[in-house]
Chain A
């Protein structure tokens, strides 16, 4: 499945690239500058840039695991290969120290680096193009006042011909619609603020919208559910399968604290997003929640709430049910030891109600970890304790018992892929 898609994508890109090449492939360089002194930036603007950078989750993709902030090296896994986040500290040699503000503005708006090379859309300029010039100026001020770090990101691991960047011009021709966000005057101010952030800097769709064979977001399925790093990014539109419909308040709670008691705990790639949002003003988190809640629509609660199979007729207990009692019930049953601060109830957990089993599998295998030693759920992984077949049985049991929905297909193989980290579609 994967290989043909990549090759097909590459071939298509090659054809398109050839066509677009002469027209738009070549971009001029912008003259390097000496890194501006930190003091030359207005502190108010720098502070605004800090908040924006947090909203954009910039640090996540531009910081290697255990690396210096913004110094690059984060491996972004895509179906086409691994792209490494670049160094965006003001180091003149390896970072963006020699970038003028105009070069930065162009990178955000058009996906072109200072020297004129096209950037891979792993850098989500299809969203960042919506960011206002004013906000880009603040971001620039923030980044140029960071500590410069001399660090080269590792070379991207992409197959030929994707290493030939001018091809990206064709991709842009097809999929990139440049231009700042335009508010909808019929909507209230906080909705527009939320739309601006969500569609622009926050680039939520980069994970939550499915992508086509060429790696572009499928606009007609916007927020229909996508993927990130082996995790399913759940639908943020009416396709949401959350047993309890999301509301503005529950979205706000989730984004502000990392937990919505009726839905989920922020895990996997969403954990750093929430961590970064902790430095964002309340009004912006409210605005994001307002807009996303509106996109999700007023989904009617199912006429009959899902009927958990908990009270199934007495029959010999299956192995998965026994494993559940010994491994999971301790915390997840009502009145477990954390009965007075219990985790999300499994009958409400979005991970079990989704059409895609990967999040449930990821959590069973690898647990939920405390990020940055702040108080947050801490669940052990069962990768060493349970076999693939046991994890698959358990996932199927949880799905049936807590959602009443049909068991996911091909579970054991999916567990195998999640275990080896080879679980992107």
Chain B
């Protein structure tokens, strides 16, 4: 976080690392090969290396050991509050046989770390974790090789521990000594890594305490919001009052004379003020907002008809799954069930609104940002600013919790625009609460339709599922992905949105159920036109699709007269899926026994993206019959994230996912009229508070030693929503199919 005035910031990782990369051979050590199955590298990397490592195979891109023995690990991923720093350090420490405290981790920084694009999609452990595991294993092998050469002993006879390699006789060489001659400098990762045997793990699999928590609970600097650079000034942006508003005029004279004001910046419809002190910037921005005259027009859809509006938009249709088993057609099925599900717009709602610091100095731009992708942000800023790539550096500094594409990139753009307008001084831009609520990209409103029947054998005979959705990622991209760039006199237009292809999918993420169904047809109706700005929100389409499909599974189970858990197991072949379902049901105490009046139980399951963590959630809810108010009383989850690097981290993420999803599912809906977004604060967009928090949330982690890391962070969102809806149906006899399940809707469904 340090930056000394006068010296230009480091602008190139290559310059930092020095020189090109040469292949350095080393002896393959005996051990487990490729158990953390590297996926095939795309785009030129070596086949057989994990994707991220294949893309940047220079080992010093990932791990640097200084002559004094200091170990620095570099990841292109970022800490978003998910605890990834601790888990990645654990991975590196394990393969290097050092303690986590020996390692310094540098996260996403275009000047220093590998380009790992976005920290998103619960892929940090799968991608960066696997890359670091392999890089560390290769560094370990190199260290052993170098020591073997120095000590004149075969590597097999040496032991590596406590940041040193030791000979049987007692001779020992520290890592620093071993690499002092530059032994790592030009080493490049090669396929066929020998990994440490899982049985020898001492760090992976341990609930190592998060390295960031002590500072966070004692007031240490921990966030981009805490960055204080010498000479820093404070900026606030005066946003248009509505998406289509145009700035007719503004008299800035009075604001410019306010105490502490450094200047007002206007560029087209983009309006901001910079002041010496933060409160001065805030009061000046209020005055500036007061002075600005906007032309507004209704450009938003009618909130009351939003689902019809979506269904009426032009769609690009893709059949993403079509399976017909001969002889088991719908004829075998009984009564046909059909249902339509809906989900309103929802927001990320990070507790700390977006923030960034920019500094434009000596022709170079540096932006400190909490966005999910420093390299993509740099690319967008390069286009927006018209600067060469090597003059723009983006450094990730943690922000408040990130649950997808929120205002962080846009705040980065604000910082860059204002730093350029006020060169030489660091400019800190802090969004206000209403900026974040109104302008962050929302999680899209969606509609889905399911129909199906149960066969004579009591199993699902056929299922049709269709989902209508806008894009679930409008991230940078180009400058047109940055909202502030839309308002400039020379505006940038957003790129046309594109669907994320299967198997991960975007709006159709998890639209294909993992259940074995003889006849199934799944259609994704991608809606390119966006009535409101939307992008990635934790889980993307999986939240809605799992809610829909798990609700419908219960409807089918009821039709079949089968217990919902038993019905799910009947359709699950994957043993790991069966394990989480069984464990969650068992630990929950799933039964058909009568619950107290107003209480209901429900179950939900999915494997996130059908390729990441398996997660099953069982819940008990209580519905107040007179008001419809629904409270999640307890939740029990089982999750299989493959090799569990930090089981407590997995539990923490999953507990959080369950509670956040409960808040989305029971309460959350962004509001708007025909012109403006109207949910601008925590009263207009309430989220779960402590009086509504469940009595207990228990998460059971199934560890799979030796199997690949599976993304965890988003796995609970969909299953929780399905489980809650099913529990409400169990408690009330009423099936609610529109999110959120607010008390008014529940009460209306219950009747008197």
Contacts and interface: CB of A to CB of B under 8 A. Distances in A.
Interface string B626-663: 11010000000000000000000000000000000000
A373 B751 CA distance: 21
Contacts of B752: 43, 46-47, 49-50, 142, 145
29 contacts: A46-B752, A47-B751, A47-B752, A69-B624, A69-B627, A142-B752, A147-B598, A147-B625, A278-B744, A333-B286, A334-B290, A335-B289, A335-B290, A337-B432, A338-B681, A339-B241, A340-B242, A340-B678, A341-B684, A370-B683, A370-B686, A372-B627, A373-B629, A373-B686, A373-B692, A375-B671, A375-B679, A375-B685, A375-B686
B433 interface: yes
B683 A337 contact: no
Given A145-B752, A335-B286, A375-B684, 6 more contacts: A49-B752, A147-B598, A335-B289, A337-B286, A373-B692, A378-B683
Interface in A90-119: none
Interface in A320-349: 333-341
A147 B686 CA distance: 30
A244 B20 CA distance: 77
Given A50-B752, A372-B743, A378 B290 contact: no
Contacts of A46: 752
Contacts of B625: 69, 147
Nearest to B433: A337
A280 to B, nearest CB: 13
B112 interface: no
A164 to B, nearest CB: 35
A377 interface: yes
Q: Chain A interface mostly helix, strand, loop or mixed?
A: loop
A370 B689 CA distance: 11
B748 to A, nearest CB: 9
A338 B286 CA distance: 11
A333 B626 CA distance: 39
7 A-B pairs with the lowest CB-CB distances in the bound complex, closest first: A378-B683, A335-B290, A69-B626, A50-B752, A47-B752, A337-B434, A340-B241
B597 interface: yes
Given A372-B627, A372-B629, A378 B743 contact: no
Contact of B434 (A59, A338, A372): A338
B667 interface: yes
Interface residues of A, number: 31
B163 interface: no
Interface of chain B, main secondary structure: loop
A373 B626 contact: no
Contacts of B678: 340-341
Most chain A beta-carbon contacts within 10 A, residue among B626, B679, B686 = B626
Given A46-B752, A372-B743, A375-B671, A338 B680 contact: yes
Contacts of A279: 747
A376 interface: yes
A299 to B, nearest CB: 32
Contact of A378 (B241, B681, B742): B681
A146 interface: yes
Nearest to A378: B683
Contacts of A375: 671, 679, 683-686
A258 to B, nearest CB: 11
A291 interface: no
A2 interface: no
B680 A340 contact: yes
A6 to B, nearest CB: 35
A374 interface: yes
Contact of B689 (A47, A50, A373): A373
Nearest to B678: A341
A386 B676 CA distance: 35
Nearest to B682: A378
A70 interface: yes
A105 B69 CA distance: 89
A55 to B, nearest CB: 14
